[in-house]
Amino acid sequence: MKKHKKPKTVYVYRYSLIDVMLASPSEPLQEHLRRHQLTRMHQGLEAMEKAPQPTTDDWRVVSDAVNIVETLVTSGSFFKMEVDPETGEGRQVPIPGHWHDCNGEPVEITDASGLLSDAVTAMALAGKRHKAGSNIRLDGAGIQAVRGVLADYGDLLEALPARTMIKAHRETERRIHEILAGKKKPHDVEVMEL
């Protein structure tokens, strides 16, 4: 009798590689796309703050913004050579937080205030509350942290080229898919499907 392999999970990305290649390397996302993203994310946050029954969709869109900013802080479009101590082989790794702006100039994106880390933790706690049977809510400090990160996300949408934002979105999705598949890194928080 043959053993049947468990079917492999196939993840769908919001943007394709074609979208990345066709996106402008020198202009931000189109105004209507930026406005749509920010409006939806702020509506999600407002629902998590005030709605009688915030939805998992509200949590998801806010979480997307927080995760994309985290990707912009932890990844980059500048690379350096790093030698693997075990094999001695060199490989290129991104320099965290170093990206190109719309003029092609280097820009560094950091979490100097620690607000991003607080927002990531707040979103994870809101997800856990939901899994425990409560509403998806943020505490006061979480609301402030997420508001600050959403404001930063709006600034980044205007300062970074469309190609960079779409790459960051794809990289964020890839990282979340890896975590869901059990390939966690030491700094990853718990990812949950709501």
Angle at 187 between CA 116 and CA 155, to 5 degrees: 25
Would you write out the chain's pLDDT as a tens digit for each of its 194 residues? Answer: 567 777 777 677 888 899 999 999 999 999 999 999 999 999 999 999 999 999 999 999 999 999 999 999 999 988 889 888 888 888 888 899 999 999 989 999 999 888 999 999 999 999 898 888 888 999 999 999 999 999 999 999 999 999 999 999 999 999 888 887 777 765 555 555 55
Q: In this predicted structure, what is the pLDDT of residue 192?
A: 52
Q: Which two tokens stand for residue 192?
A: 């949950």
CA 21 from centre of chain: 20
Is residue 61 included in any domain, yes or no? yes
| SS3 state at 183 | coil
Q: In this predicted structure, what is the pLDDT of residue 147?
A: 96
Rounded to whole angstroms, how far apart are CA atoms 159 and 172?
A: 19
- Domain around 104: 27-180
Q: In this predicted structure, what is the pLDDT of residue 1?
A: 59
Is residue 98 included in any domain, yes or no? yes
pTM exceeds 0.75, yes or no: yes
Is residue 63 included in any domain, yes or no? yes
Is residue 16 included in any domain, yes or no? no
Is residue 8 included in any domain, yes or no? no
Q: In this predicted structure, what is the pLDDT of residue 188?
A: 58
Domain count, the chain: 1
Is residue 2 included in any domain, yes or no? no
Contacting residues for 69 by C-beta, under 8 A, at least 6 apart: 109, 116, 119, 149, 152, 153, 156
Is residue 97 included in any domain, yes or no? yes
Is residue 19 included in any domain, yes or no? no
CA atoms within 13 A on the CB side of 190: 12
The answer to whether the beta carbons of residues 64 and 119 sit under 8 Å apart is no
